[in-house]
Amino acid sequence: MNTKILNVALIGCGRVAGHHCLSIANTDGVQLTAVCDLEADRAQSYAQEYGVPHFTNYHDMMAGHPDIDIVSVITPSGMHFEHTSEIIERYAKHVIVEKPTFMQPEQAEAAYRLADVKGVEIFPVFQNRYNKAVRRVRRALDDGELGELRIVAVRVRWCRPQRYYDMAPWRGTFSHDGGALTNQSIHHIDLLRYLGGPVGRVSATMRTLGADIEVEDTVVAAMAYETDCVGVLEATTAARPDDFEASISLVGSKGLAQIGGVGVNELQVFTPDPAACPTNSEDFVGIKGHGAVYGYGHSEMYGDIVRHFAGTAPYPVDREDCLGTLKLLHAFYRSDEAGGWVDVGGGEQSARLGRPNDQISDLYRTPAPEGTA
């Protein structure tokens, strides 16, 4: 596999699927093989643009294209575990899983165990780690330019009106979506760990203020890192009338760094070297027709997968890294449920996030043909 072009198929043809298609087309060593969505017109649109076959049943896609090496699961968040598990169990294919990877840490653990049994691999998507600004700050932390961290702060001030949640039955649900934290802020939660290090305890409070949904659209939280560093998180989709900010700032003993922009794409403050700000910022707004908030990181991700199979570098997000972000995510919900501080580590999970809802799941399930294993 390390010398051949990797054949990638997509399950789910929503907005971010177009970004996957574009990234695959721009990356040497991978090629798009097929696309699938329950809505034929959405699958057909990408199929026509990229010259590949389209399907409404991924079992038919897998049976018709045994040369598929990797499947990108881009379905509703609450279906990631079920779809990933079936692709691994039934077809023994590698899987790329969009954010938030899985809804629960125990799902991630189960999926990785199954992958081990079948001899395949899981690749979580955290594309913001590839942003120039994030890379520059990570390098500064590794090299000691900022000194010892003292405060890490995240602010997400975005707008998601009621019509956004009304677009599909899975949106705004604890079973299949999660709110401002799980859907819109998951990459920032990942950066809290990726840049700040392990978080020991959190205290969070959640509200639903701007839409008629069951999940949170507003949250504030305090964090105590395993070091002396402390943190604060403010995330909302109840800002009006537009998206305003998605930033993370880090106060160190030697300086300060702040990354902002539409998708943590601008190095706005960097006191060790202010001249580094323009050269380590990117314009995501110019990504024509493919969603500026996604940035350019998906192409880098596919490149990392190619390098992984070529044996030149391991994929940078391993299972413990993925689990660490999911455990931190659940800690915020557990804190809100408990009404106080909770430890991030351990096996506890939120009672709400990722809870089963077969009524919604049935809308996105694809039955296997009769007589198949």
CATH number for the domain spanning 86: value is 3.40.50.720
pLDDT of 294 above 70: no
pLDDT of 3 above 70: no
pLDDT of 287 above 80: no
Judge whether 238 and 210 are in contact, CB under 8 Å: yes
pLDDT of 300 above 70: yes
Residues 99 and 159 in one domain: no
Residues 103 and 133 in one domain: no
pLDDT of 290 above 70: no
Where helices occur in 51-160 by DSSP H, the ranges are 58-64, 80-91, 105-118, 132-143
Listed residues 294, 327, 360: the one ending a domain: 294
Question: How many CB atoms are closer than 10 A to CB 207?
Answer: 15
Query: What pLDDT, on a 0 to 100 scale, did the predictor assign at position 312?
Result: 96
Residues 19 and 69 in one domain: yes
Query: Interior CA angle at 240 toward 186 and 171, to 5°?
Result: 45
Query: What pLDDT, on a 0 to 100 scale, did the predictor assign at position 309?
Result: 97
Residue 90 lies in a domain: yes
Any idea what the CATH number is for the domain that residue 288 is in?
3.30.360.10
- Separation between Cα atoms, residue 305 and residue 297, nearest integer Å: 12
Residue 12 lies in a domain: yes
Residue 309 lies in a domain: no
Question: Residues 8-30: pLDDT tens digits?
Answer: 999 999 989 999 999 999 999 99
Peptide bond preceding 100 in cis form (omega within 30 of 0): yes
| pLDDT band at residue 292 using 50, 70 and 90 as cut-offs | low
Which two three-digit tokens encode residue 300?
A: 């880098």
Residues 140 and 276 in one domain: yes
Residue 301 lies in a domain: no
Mean pLDDT computed over every residue of the chain: 95
Question: How many CB atoms are closer than 10 A to CB 139?
Answer: 11
Q: Which amino acid is at 28?
A: D
Range of the domain at 98: 6-125
Residues 174 and 40 in one domain: no
Judge whether 215 and 179 are in contact, CB under 8 Å: yes
Question: Residues 107-146: pLDDT tens digits?
Answer: 999 999 999 999 999 999 999 999 999 999 999 999 999 9
Start-to-end CA distance of the chain, whole Å, equals 25
Residues 222 and 87 in one domain: no
Query: What pLDDT, on a 0 to 100 scale, did the predictor assign at position 169?
Result: 97
| pLDDT band at residue 267 using 50, 70 and 90 as cut-offs | very high
Give residue for tokens 């392990």. Answer: 198
> H/E element holding 190?
helix 186-196
Number of domains in the chain: 2
Residues 134 and 276 in one domain: yes
- Separation between Cα atoms, residue 208 and residue 113, nearest integer Å: 36
Count how many residues are written for the chain.
373
Mean pLDDT of 300-305: 97
| pLDDT band at residue 1 using 50, 70 and 90 as cut-offs | very low
Residues 191 and 50 in one domain: no
Nearest alpha-carbon partner for 260 in 287, 242, 281: 281
Residues 50 and 76 in one domain: yes
| pLDDT band at residue 52 using 50, 70 and 90 as cut-offs | very high
Residue 315 lies in a domain: no
Residues 142 and 273 in one domain: yes
Residue 74 lies in a domain: yes
Work out whether the CA dihedral 256, 262, 266, 268 comes out positive or negative.
Answer: negative
Residues 139 and 101 in one domain: no
Tell me the whole-structure pTM to 2 decimals. Answer: 0.95
Residue 98 lies in a domain: yes
pLDDT of 373 above 80: no
Residue 372 lies in a domain: no
Listed residues 100, 125, 150: the one ending a domain: 125
Sheet of strand 342-343: strand arrangement: 266-270, 256-260, 245-252, 149-157, 230-236, 218-225, 199-207, 342-343
